[in-house]
Every structure is written in structure tokens, then in C-alpha cells.
Amino acid sequence: MALIPRLRSEFPELAPTEQAVARLLLSAPEAVVKASIREVADRAEVSTAAVTRLSRRLGFRDFRELKIALAMELGGRASLPPSLDVRPEDPSEEVLRKVLRSEVQALEEALSALEAAPFAQAVELLLKARRVGVFGVGSSAPVALDAYYRFLRIGLPVFMAPETHMQAVAASLMGPEEVGFFISHTGRSRELLDSVREAHRAGARILALTSFRQSPLARKASVALIAPVREAAFRVEAMATRVVHLAVVDALYVALALRKPDAGWYLERSQEAIDAQRVSRRSP
């Protein structure tokens, strides 16, 4: 995973002094690349040891090595706008531009951050499952519903419960050959984690889609898809995350359809049912 997306995904688990350095690195990466370790420590109001600790936590030998990796990463993002935060004084057309550009940027960053191996493992897990339960609450509920519908269209044995108590009950009744697909931006929603616990107790495999690598959801997962997203100011929680997570669901859907021998039949049959719901066009 690239440095900046990884830093976002691990941010909640960092020590306070490490978070101060990480916050500076995320908000002003170009300045960090040009600064000495002392200058970074002073701007973050921490010791140089905290800067070194963060560097090593991220897998680098020292701050100098982190700066090299950061500079290389910024070189590949030179065309991206420096800030897409929406401000109260922005006219409507500027809000439209910023929101759409930020979601394009979120998809670009997710493409560099998502790892191929866990994605392939997720596809195998879903293909081999006797039954798949899809779970999501809050802003992740629409993403979970979309996953349920996509998987249903290709004949995957899938279910979804609409309410948190029902989700916990459904999770508790799963079995060892089944997979619970849990979707959460933060990976910390109490109601969702209750269902994760029930599914885990029942012996089901846990597939997670979340933005944070060290979240409780990711730690409980058999396979975790980590898609970190930068959220801007004046945004409803996880707006860009929803777009990224929907894109990951689409990718799973396509990968499963290509691998599942009878997916074509299910798609054709379900399309007939959809077409029957539409008003026919009248000739002029």
C-alpha cells in the first residue's frame, strides 16, 4: 500500500505524538519532503524521536527513507488539486466541481492503496461460500444493499437483514461454510461489531471492507479489503468512502461473474424480471 493511504488507514491507532506528525504529513506533504527532522518535529510540536518512531512504524529505517518514499509518491500525484475542501463561501458550481473532483481523487487513491492479494482471496472466499450474509449500518447500509443486489443478480446464495437486531440474529445463525461480508468506513460501529462477534462465534468466515487497517473490524476479519479515503471538511461522513466502497463492490461483482460458470444464466433470467417491471415504449 502507498504511504499516504496507509497512513490514513492506521491513523486512529497511532500514539498522540505520532498522530501529530502524521497530521502534518497528510496536510502538508510537500513541506515535509523539504524539511529536516528537527523542522518537522518543531512544526508538529513533538520530539524528533516521535518522528523517527512513526517512520519505523511505517516500515522505514529512518525519517530520511520516509521522505524519499513520500517524494516519489507525490511525483505520481502532481496532477491532483492541492485542496478540495468545500468552504461556506463557495458558489454552487464550485461545490459541484469540488465534490466530483474529490470523488475522482478518492478512486485514484483507492486504486493505488488496495492490495491485489486480499482482493483475490475475497473472490475465492465468496465463490466457495455455501451462503453469504451482507452486513452494513449507517452510511454503509446503502453499500451493503448494493452488494446484496449485485450478488443476487449472479446467483450467489446471499442474504441481508435490514435492521441491526435482525442482523445480529442472522449472524448468530450462520455456519462454518458461510461468509459474513461486513462493510464499515470506520470499522468501529458498535452494532456492526456485535454482528461480527456473533458470526465469528458461529464459525463463519469474516470478509471486511473498511477504510482502516487497524480497526476492530479489520482485526476480526479472515480477509480484509482496506480502502483508505481522505475526507474533506464540510462533508457528510464518508461521502467519498461510499463511492470507493461501491466501486470495490462492483469489482467483486465483475470478478465473481467472470468466475461463476452459471452467472450468465442468472443475469439473463434476472434481466427478464427487471424488463417486465418497465413500462413499454409506445410507438409515436
Counted domains in the chain: 2
Boundary (domain end) residue, out of 75, 90, 107: 75
In a domain, 107, yes or no: no
User: Are 241 and 139 in the same domain?
Assistant: yes
pLDDT of 232 strictly over 60? no
Residues 65 and 199 placed together within one structural domain of the fold = no
Reported as a single tens digit per residue, the pLDDT across 111-148 is 878 889 999 999 999 999 999 999 999 989 999 999 99
pLDDT at 85 over 70: no
Res 101: pLDDT? 83
pLDDT at position 90: 85
What is the model's pLDDT at position 233? 44
57 and 170 co-located in one domain: no
Residue 211 located in a structural domain: yes
In this structure, the answer to whether residues 37 and 140 fall within a common structural domain is no
Comparing C-alpha atoms, which of 126, 232, 227 is closest to residue 184? 227
| Residue 89 within any structural domain of the chain | no
Q: Which pLDDT tens digit goes with each residue over 34-70?
A: 899 999 999 999 999 999 999 999 889 889 889 888 8
Angle at 154 between CA 153 and CA 158, to 5 degrees: 75
Q: For residues 226 and 151, state if they share a domain.
A: yes
Considering the domain architecture, whether residues 166 and 58 belong to the same structural domain is answered as no
Q: Specify if 151 maps to a domain.
A: yes
Q: Is 103 domain-assigned?
A: no
**Residues 176, 241 share a domain:** yes
Grid look-up 527513507 returns: 65
Mean pLDDT, residues 181-203 taken together = 96
Q: Please, what is the average pLDDT of the chain?
A: 88
Whether 236 shows a pLDDT value over 60: the answer reads no
Flag whether pLDDT at 77 surpasses 60. no
Range of the domain at 232: 116-274
Task: Please enumerate in sequence order all residues whose Cβ is within 8 A of that of 136, keeping only pairs 6 or more positions apart, or say none.
Answer: 142, 143, 144, 145, 147, 182, 183, 184, 192
Domain assignment present for 13: yes
Does the residue 108 lie in any domain?
no
CA 32 to CA 190: how far, in whole Å? Answer: 36
Residues 46 and 151 in one domain: no
Q: Residues 138, 254: one domain? A: yes
pLDDT of residue 218: 94
Lookup result for grid cell 476480526: 220
158 in a structural domain: yes
